[in-house]
């Protein structure tokens, strides 16, 4: 991990920045051009964030050890009542406890 700039990493970051900017300006460009989005396409687009994020959560849970499973289950239960930051803190505390106290 050096502080020397890696051109490939920089290129990747800038590409991600351009992609992000395109989403931020895209609706403005579209709305001046397009009258309707087909309903099925809209339904599919609405599902994109949950679908992508789930693929980062599910394997982490199923492939993780008991420490990870306990932490994420605790976080899931806490999230039913409390906002994101408290959920995150509860999950973290559960992971710390299961690693350092229970020895998973």
Partner 1 sequence: MKREDIIDGLKGGAIIAISSAPFAILFGAVAVDNGLSVLDAAIMSATVYAGASQLVGIELFDHHVAPWLIVLSVFAVNFRHILYSAALTRFITHFSPVQKFFAFFLLTDPQFAESVKRGEDGRGVSFEWYLGFGLSIYFPWLFFSTVGAWFGSMMGDPRTLAIDVLLPTYFMGLVLGFRRRSGFYPVVLASTLGSIAAYHFVGSPWHVSIGAAVGVAVAALLPLPASEPEPMAEKAEA
Among 7, 14, 101, 102, binds partner 1 (CB under 8 A): 14
**Among residues 7, 55, 81, 101, the one that binds partner 1 under rule CB under 8 A:** 55
Shortest reach from residue 59's CB to partner 1, in Å? 5
Q: Which residues contact 91 (CB under 8 A, 6 or more apart)?
A: 71, 72, 74, 75, 78
Q: What residues from 18 to 47 belong to the interface with partner 1 (CB under 8 A)?
A: 19-28, 30-32, 34-37, 39-47
Q: How far apart are CA 3 and CA 44, in angstroms?
A: 41
Which of 7, 63, 101, 103 contacts partner 1 by CB under 8 A?
Answer: 63
Alpha helical stretches, state H, 1-104: 7-31, 39-63, 66-79, 84-100
Matching residue, tokens 């403005």: 28
**Contact between 102 and partner 1 (CB under 8 A)?**
no
Of 7, 85, 101, 103, the one binding partner 1 (CB under 8 A) is 85
């Amino acid at each position: 991990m050096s502080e020397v700039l890696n051109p490939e990493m920089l290129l990747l970051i800038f590409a991600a920045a351009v992609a992000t900017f395109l989403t931020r300006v895209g609706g403005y460009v579209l709305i001046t051009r397009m009258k309707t989005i087909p309903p099925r396409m809209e339904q599919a687009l609405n599902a994109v964030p949950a679908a992508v994020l789930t693929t980062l959560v599910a394997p982490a849970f199923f492939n993780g050890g008991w420490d990870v499973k306990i932490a994420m289950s605790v976080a899931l239960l806490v999230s039913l009542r409390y906002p994101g930051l408290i959920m995150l803190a509860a999950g973290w505390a559960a992971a710390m406890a299961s690693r350092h106290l229970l020895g998973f």
